[in-house]
Amino acid sequence: MSLIVTNLTVDYGAIRAVNNVSFEVLSGQLTTIIGANGAGKTTLLRTLSGLKESENGVATWNGDAILGKKPEDLARSGIMHVSDGKSVIAELTVKENLALTGLWRKDKKDVANATTEVVDLFPILGERMTQSAGSLSGGERQMLAIGRALVARPKLLLLDEPSLGLAPLIVEQIFKVISNLVKQMKITVVLVEQNAMGALKIANEGVVLNLGSVVAIDSAETLLNDPAVRAAYLGF
């Protein structure tokens, strides 16, 4: 059980956004992909979730090829992508947002259970069930987006910059939740982050991207202590 990406190349318009990238994410582990703005992190994630076509390369999840499949099919097979920024539907209520990933699931009882678990995990969502998602704060929106993914009982979670634009306290809380998803629920997570420090602290492995290419892959601990990585991405 693992995600294996081999020689993946993706163009974004005329730009080569992801260039010959290979890495592996072991089941039940958290791998973070870090790098500066424009390093190709988001494009990489969008390719893995089927939103973007690749030029070259292979990606498999548990041995099944995932490139070229439709995002909705990948989502139904347990690969959930929580995209950055506006990934909640502001016009729908919190309850309706959470219901989206349960619409197509056959096991309605488990959908109800999963929803209860999400509300236990993020009690604030339970208080705001009937409010529109547009009225939530940035942190609450991120919780809702992750919560919605969890209702589908995902096996692989692709998270795109969950800390973006959030207050430090909230960021800490979100990272803690993500860490628990891996440790307690055994979900495999690929976490794309600009906040390299926070991400590496909870990750097992780290992939450093620069201008679309992998410049370093190592255990998170090693990367945290690597002087070059520290200087370039952690700022000290």
Partner 1 sequence: MNQFITAVLTSLSTGAIYALMSIALVLVWRSTRVINFAQAGQAIFTTYIGYEVTIRSGSYWVGLISAILSGALLGAGIDRFFMRPIFKRVTSGPIVMIAPVVATLALLGIIQAIIGFIWGLNYQTIQAPVSTDGLKIFGSIIAFSPFNLMVLIAVTLSMILLTIVFQKTNIGLALRASAYAPEVSKLSGIRVDAVRTLGWALAGAAGGLAGMLYIPGSYLYPNAMDVLLVFGFIAAVIGGLDSLFGAVAGAMILGFAVNFSATYISYKLVFPTAFVILILVLLIKPSGVFSGKKGRKD
Q: Which residues contact 235 (CB under 8 A, 6 or more apart)?
A: none
Cβ 200 to partner 1, closest distance in Å? Answer: 26
Cβ 100 to partner 1, closest distance in Å? Answer: 4
100 binds partner 1 (CB under 8 A): yes
Kindly report each contact of residues 35-38 with a partner whose C-beta sits within 8 Å and lies 24 or more positions away, as own/partner.
35/208, 35/209, 35/210, 35/233, 36/194, 36/210, 36/233, 37/194, 38/211
Considering only residues 14, 63, 103, 106, which one is a binding residue for partner 1 as defined by CB under 8 A? 103
Distance CA 74, CA 84 (A): 18
**Per-residue DSSP letters for 195-223?**
-HHHHHHH-SEEEEEETTEEEEEEEHHHH
Contact call for residues 185 and 113 (beta carbons, < 8 A):
no
Sole window of 32-40, 85-93, 109-117, 169-177 interacting with partner 1 (rule: CB under 8 A): 85-93
Cβ 85 to partner 1, closest distance in Å? Answer: 10
Sole window of 28-36, 71-79, 161-169, 214-222 interacting with partner 1 (rule: CB under 8 A): 71-79
Taking the least distance from each CB to partner 1, the nearer of 52 and 128 is 52
Smallest CA-to-CA distance from 148 within 188, 105, 97, 113 is with 97
Taking the least distance from each CB to partner 1, the nearer of 100 and 121 is 100
Contact call for residues 21 and 173 (beta carbons, < 8 A):
no
Considering only residues 11, 24, 96, 117, which one is a binding residue for partner 1 as defined by CB under 8 A? 96
Q: By rule CB under 8 A, what string of x and - marks binding of each residue 43-62 to partner 1?
A: ------xxx-----------
72 binds partner 1 (CB under 8 A): yes
80 binds partner 1 (CB under 8 A): yes
Report residue 103 as tokens: 């619409």
Map the footprint of partner 1 across residues 110-169, applying CB under 8 A.
Answer: 148, 152
99 binds partner 1 (CB under 8 A): yes
Burial class (CB in 10 A: 0-12, 13-18, 19+), 210: middle
Size of the site for partner 1 (CB under 8 A): 27
Cβ 95 to partner 1, closest distance in Å? Answer: 10
Distance CA 30, CA 17 (A): 23
Q: Which helix (H) or strand (E) holds 172?
A: helix 168-185
Residues forming contacts to partner 1 in the complex (CB under 8 A) are: 49-51, 70-72, 75-76, 80-83, 86-92, 96, 99-101, 103-104, 148, 152
